[in-house]
Structure 1
Amino acid sequence: MDIETARTFLEIVSSGSFMAAAERLHVTQTAVSARVRTLEQQLGRPLFTRNKRAGVRLTPAGLRFVRHAASLVQGWERARQHVALPPGREDGISVGAEPAIWRPFLSEWLVWMHHRCPEVALRAEVEPPQRLLERIDDGSLDMAMLYNPAPRPGLVCELLLEEKLVLVTSNADGSFDPHRYVHVDWGAGFWVNFQSAFPDLPNPPVALSLGPLALTYVLEVGGAGYFRAGTVAPFVKRGALFPVQGAPEFSHSASVVYAAQNQGAVLARAREGLHAVAARIGGNASIEVEPGEEYGARIADPEFQ
């Protein structure tokens, strides 16, 4: 069995259909079907049941094979990256982060690794949370940084920082005008809690998927929104924003996710760097970059290096 066959099997499991897997892999549906037939012949067991209404489902044999297929793909990806190391590097690690977490976590972690682990080659990517979890599963990423990641078999979710989402407004009296509320997509968990806390809130006139963009909007034109407490602390301190008194606060935990069997020394060192960044962020509520500020002054701190 080749690696592409195992990867195809995992894509079908992830997407739920042969057609979706073919689109992701940029091959024809016929090629996907042929790979599955070959795999089933090699294993001597059917791996999927096909149903036009329900799509494809794993058989008991297919369920047992998932973990082995993931291990095969992960092992190949690690071997490929290790062999392809650039000159002067002894090992390598690939990391991912969702769009809302790359700053400051990913940015400062890269600097930490540069100073503490110069012998390690680095590859970092920013992708949606679901895709990051899939890539941890298939071994193309060693670890990923996410907010409130959903539990997934075979993956370790290690807490980095417990943050809060707080409601702030541009109104100096701290009053909340629901018609000027700017909704930020902080994930499914936040949405459930938000709806429970504000069941009668009208549909927001502005909805944005990126926290920094929403914060810039509120600062420029006014309004209210939920933001990370550390992000808005400096704006509250100087009177640009005001807490909405009595508004509920919601948990927004940052975690690093990695495969349970991936316990190498490089990953351990990389996680150490993430915890160092988390400790630095947790000890400084204003660690977020403000408009016009550059990272250089902070990450050049000898104590951080």
Structure 2
Amino acid sequence: MRQTNIILSLDQFYCIKMDIELARTFLEIVSAGSFVRAAERLHVTQTAVSARVQALETQLGRPLFVRNKSGARLTPAGRDFLQYATQLVQIWERARHQVAVPPGRETVLSLGGEFSLWNSLLLNWLVWLRRDRNTVALRSHVEAPDRLMDRLQSSALDIAILYAPYHRPDVKITPILSEDLIAVTTDPDNRTLSGENYVYVDWGPDFANHHDTAFPGLKDAGTFVDLGPLGLRYILEAGGSGYFRTRAIQRFIDEERLFPVESAPTFSYSVYAAYSRRAPEEIIDWALNGLREVAKQSFDKWV
């Protein structure tokens, strides 16, 4: 692989970086819908966000936002600039991503996952990737779904695993696994979902929406966990009820340690991979094959 030397003066570097920060801030405001929420996402003050927008508007010679009580909306000039800001950030992130390849590595693969998916799906995936091809440098991020999608769209991230990704320009989505979630209890004489002993497991936003509609009284359960195995081990030790993956609990049903709540609805549990269209196709195919293999091999262990 040919090595390319890129030499920038310090002034040139800071000028490029500053322009990228201005464009990134602009896109964050568009995504968040307000200067306040954009400042929170960027971990800077609202004053800093306002100053960046003012600097950008000065360079372009046009106002980009109209601010009101409900947030901020784009002006016609802002709508025109949106596509250019997106392209600017994407090109910069991809260039930074490829130039920063560590010595001894051929390329960089940047991965992400939702908080409740890092253990152990993302972890096992990273292990598989390293063992299968150690010439690829790995970067991992655990963040909220919106941030992961933003990173994918800007090409700062190659692939992310999420419960319910939504479509964005230049981002593709593919299913990784799907299974039913059923309600079970440890009490054979009371096969209901009781608020007193109910354990709410965070199976993602789709589950939350359907669950809250079916069980409004269980929305604020006394026990909440964000990892399936933890919730399952808890009710097996302490007793209680909750929703769990069918394959993960089948042996406990067979052993009569858990009992299905037949009156409760069944919900679907799915995990998807979202990936950047701009990432190299060969490296994406390899990484997704590894993800599917890991998900299949460790299915009963991690959810």
TM-score category, normalised to shorter length: 0.7 to 0.9
Q: Which residue of 1 aligns with 2:91?
A: 75
State how 1:233-272 maps to structure 2 within 5 Å: 233-272=250-289
Deviation, 1:177, is 4.1
Q: Unmatched 5+ residue regions in structure 1?
A: 290-305
Opposite residue 131 of structure 2, the aligned amino acid is H
Deviation, 1:223, is 0.5
Tell me if structure 2 keeps the 8 A contact 1:174–1:242: no
- The answer to whether residue 143 in structure 2 is matched with residue 127 in structure 1 is yes
Cα distance per residue 1:124-179 (max 9 Å; x no partner):
12222222222223333221101122333442221111122221111235712423
Deviation, 1:274, is 1.6
Opposite residue 116 of structure 1, the aligned amino acid is D
Tell me if structure 2 keeps the 8 A contact 1:163–1:254: no
Cα distance per residue 1:170-225 (max 9 Å; x no partner):
12357124232212233332222123333565853323333333223212211000
* TM-score, normalisation: structure 2: 0.82
Cα RMSD, aligned residues only? 2.6
Query: CA separation in 1, counterparts of 2:254 and 2:242?
Result: 17
Query: CA separation in 2, counterparts of 1:124 and 1:190?
Result: 26
Tell me if structure 1 keeps the 8 A contact 2:153–2:169: no
Deviation, 1:44, is 4.4
- The answer to whether residue 70 in structure 2 is matched with residue 40 in structure 1 is no
Q: Unmatched 5+ residue regions in structure 2?
A: 1-15
Opposite residue 35 of structure 1, the aligned amino acid is R
Cα distance per residue 1:231-264 (max 9 Å; x no partner):
3334334443222224221111110112333354
Cα distance per residue 1:63-92 (max 9 Å; x no partner):
343343233223222322322222210001
Cα distance per residue 1:5-45 (max 9 Å; x no partner):
11111221222222333344344434322322332344444
Q: Which residue of 1 aligns with 2:113?
A: 97
| Residues 288/232 of structure 1: CA separation in 2 closer, same or farther (3 Å cut) | farther
Query: CA separation in 2, counterparts of 1:112 and 1:203?
Result: 38
Query: CA separation in 1, counterparts of 2:189 and 2:83?
Result: 56
State how 1:1-305 maps to structure 2 within 5 Å: 2-51=19-68, 53-172=69-188, 175-179=191-195, 180-199=197-216, 203-281=220-298, 286-288=300-302
| Residues 167/63 of structure 1: CA separation in 2 closer, same or farther (3 Å cut) | farther
Aligned residues: 285
Q: Which residue of 1 aligns with 2:3?
A: none
Tell me if structure 2 keeps the 8 A contact 1:96–1:145: yes
Tell me if structure 2 keeps the 8 A contact 1:230–1:287: no
